Amino acid sequence: MKIGLRIYILIFALLLAFLAIAPWKILEKGVLIDSVDKNSTAFEQGLRQGQIIKAIDREKINNVDDFSKIIQEKNYTSEKIKTIITTDKGEFIIYSNKTPEITISSIPKTKIKTGLDLAGGSKALVKAKDKKLNSKELSDLIAVISNRINVYGISDVKIVSVLDLSGTNYMSIEIAGATPKDLNDLITQQGKFEAKISNETVFIGGEKDISSVCRNDATCAGIESCQKAENGNYFCNFRFVIYLSEAAAQKHADITNKLDVNETNPQYLSKKLDLYLDDNLVDSLFISKDLKGRVTTQIQISGSGSGDDQEVAYNDALASMHKLQTILITGNLPYQLEIVKLDVISPSLGKEFTKNIIYLAVIVFVIISIILFLRYRRIKITLSVILTMFSEALITLGIAAFINWNLDAPSIAGIIAGMGTGVNDQIVIIDESVSNLHISLKERIKRALFIIFGAFFTIIVAMLPLFWAGAGMLKGFALTTIIGVTVGILITRPAFAEIIRKINE
């Protein structure tokens, strides 16, 4: 049978989908470090997020169970004991009287990302400290938190308001893949930014004083230089420009107008611009004498990051810069928050759900295959339908992996719905191809594709409202369904129609 262009397109799409979800480090043994407490001995010795632990005390680690077993056998007490952790980045020796303050997970086998209900994550119930919020205040707080999370680039986040029987308003936050410490740091740190001269506040973070923050333009933001210190560590400097409001610029002019010129460094004023984050001094900037009493809306902010090597120092400086930019953009939280309840959502339920879905899919495929074979009595047609269904699911998963979409339970349901729609369309094509109408096979196939196109546009229109329904909780279902039916209409349905035409001819 000669292969046509449509079938070649299907084969090419399947190849791209496989490359998009190709097994990643499928033969790699060990466990992945998800996070390291920055105040821990493990962090000081060089353990970092993303490293793969290969062994502990020269004993090989193949999976999470091996790691847990060895750590439990260490029997940490009040006395410090030696722990040798071997990773893909080298060997680290830790002396501590407690379990290494890191969180680990299995090494991902594919590039497919899963959501909170499948991959696990953290969930927090939060309320304002020493204040009872009304619904309007809680809505404002959710808006600020959402903005901060979006700026940080954290994905698969669900934030909703919760009202208990006592009338207290809470905020429920779920973040897929985040550790409890990540979520705790994000919520409890108020993120108050202040710029002061002689203990007099010049401007604060947020829209009131900051009109714009340079973030993605290399001409006004970035890492300036990296150098090696005398102790062997590296440090990298960052800088970025912020633009003040007219009121903040005027305040800066009024305060600097009172200052004298620095006697030691005459090119600068006698006082510095001190930057405080959560009441901690993070940097002090010299003020040029040319700015004395001058209304300027452009200020350059600088800082640094450090690490054991240049790459770590660079990443630390980049993370520090992004955090400072985020707080300057979003401002400090309107209320001091406290976490009432903090839970870790286990991915075990998601694994069980995924396993049950696979079992159910196999059963459904068997039933569909039997029904199709009994209906048409042709094994080639039956196999064509099954292979087309698998192809559609694989291409949809490939697209999801390519766009870094976190697959949750609704997303998987959307893939299944798309496959179901595909089976319906394939039956339409088969029925048209074997009908007794006195027209050519090519015309009958065209009739079937016309019906399928009509159904496609109906599904698209029906799915679009789900992107916003239920606060976006059905977004995954809508997106994967649309991807599935679009893949079908552009790739798999035309290829299937050609396969059926070849079989009938």
Domain count, the chain: 4
Residue of higher predicted confidence among 32 and 438: 32
- Cβ(500)–Cβ(381) below 8 Å: yes
- Cβ(100)–Cβ(29) below 8 Å: no
At residue 174 the predicted structure's pLDDT band, cuts being 50, 70 and 90, is: confident
Residues 198 and 151 in one domain: no
Count of helices and strands (H, E) across the chain? 14, 20
Helices (H), 377-474: 379-402, 409-434, 441-463
Is pLDDT above 60 for 152? no
What is the CATH classification number for the domain harbouring 155?
Answer: 3.30.70.3400
Burial letters 346-367, b for 16+ CB under 10 A, else e: ebeebeeebeeeeeebeeebee
Is pLDDT above 70 for 255? yes
User: Which residues fall within 8 angstroms of residue 170, CB to CB, at 6 or more apart?
Assistant: 125, 126, 127, 161, 162, 163, 164, 340
> What is the domain range of residue 53?
31-106
Radius of gyration of the chain (CA): 29
Task: Report angle CA 393, 13, 464 to the nearest 5 degrees.
Answer: 55
Mean pLDDT value across residues 461-489? 75
Query: How many other β-carbons are positioned within 10 Å of the β-carbon of residue 172?
Result: 15
CA distances to 13, 115, 489 from 392, in Å: 10, 21, 10
CA distances to 255, 368, 427, 504 from 371, in Å: 83, 5, 11, 20
Domain-ending residue, one of 280, 313, 345: 345
Q: What is the pLDDT of residues 445-462, one digit of tens each?
A: 777 777 777 777 887 887
Give me 296's structure tokens.
């300027």
pTM for the complete prediction?
Answer: 0.54
User: Which residues fall within 8 angstroms of residue 399, CB to CB, at 6 or more apart?
Assistant: 17, 20, 483, 487
Residues 198 and 185 in one domain: no
Residues 357 and 387 in one domain: yes
CA distances to 146, 378, 426 from 430, in Å: 49, 11, 6
Do β-strands 113-114 and 406-407 pair in parallel, antiparallel, or remain unpaired? parallel
Is pLDDT above 50 for 471? no
Q: Point out the least confidently predicted range of 223-232, 264-273, 446-455.
A: 446-455
Does 116 reside within a domain?
Answer: no
User: Which residues fall within 8 angstroms of residue 212, CB to CB, at 6 or more apart?
Assistant: 242, 243
Nearest by Cα to 331 from 503, 157, 143:
143
What is the CATH classification number for the domain harbouring 424?
Answer: 1.20.1640.10
Does 111 reside within a domain?
Answer: no
At residue 289 the predicted structure's pLDDT band, cuts being 50, 70 and 90, is: confident
**Cα gap 370→216, rounded to integer Å:** 57
Query: How many other β-carbons are positioned within 10 Å of the β-carbon of residue 461?
Result: 9
Q: What percent of the chain has pLDDT over 70?
A: 81
Residue of higher predicted confidence among 203 and 35: 203
What is the CATH classification number for the domain harbouring 89?
Answer: 2.30.42.10
Residues 354 and 500 in one domain: yes
Is pLDDT above 60 for 331? yes
Does 91 reside within a domain?
Answer: yes
- Cβ(418)–Cβ(488) below 8 Å: yes
Does 442 reside within a domain?
Answer: yes
Residues 137 and 247 in one domain: no
Does 218 reside within a domain?
Answer: yes
Does 114 reside within a domain?
Answer: no
Helices (H), 133-276: 135-152, 180-188, 246-256
Q: How many CA atoms within 13 Å lie on the side-chain side of 232?
A: 1
Residues 327 and 214 in one domain: yes
Residues 358 and 500 in one domain: yes
- Cβ(240)–Cβ(321) below 8 Å: yes
Is pLDDT above 70 for 180? no
Domain-ending residue, one of 296, 312, 345: 345
**Cα gap 46→102, rounded to integer Å:** 12
Residues 77 and 138 in one domain: no
**Cα gap 211→76, rounded to integer Å:** 52
- Cβ(307)–Cβ(272) below 8 Å: no
Query: How many other β-carbons are positioned within 10 Å of the β-carbon of residue 151?
Result: 17
Give me 79's structure tokens.
């006395």
CA distances to 48, 387, 455 from 384, in Å: 49, 5, 21
Domain-ending residue, one of 106, 136, 163: 106
Residues 265 and 289 in one domain: yes
For the chain, how many residues are written?
505
CA distances to 73, 229, 389, 462, 471 from 481, in Å: 48, 54, 14, 10, 18
Residues 367 and 288 in one domain: no
- Cβ(354)–Cβ(476) below 8 Å: no
Written as one letter, the residue type at 9 is I
**Cα gap 135→337, rounded to integer Å:** 16
SS3 at position 111: coil
Give me 497's structure tokens.
């129609």
Residues 145 and 97 in one domain: no
Residue of higher predicted confidence among 445 and 60: 60
Is pLDDT above 80 for 302? no
Give me 312's structure tokens.
């770590």
Average pLDDT, the chain: 78
Residues 410 and 428 in one domain: yes
Q: Report the DSSP beta bridge partners of residue 268.
A: 288
Nearest by Cα to 64 from 347, 444, 477:
347
Does 482 reside within a domain?
Answer: yes
Query: How many other β-carbons are positioned within 10 Å of the β-carbon of residue 475?
Result: 19
Does 100 reside within a domain?
Answer: yes
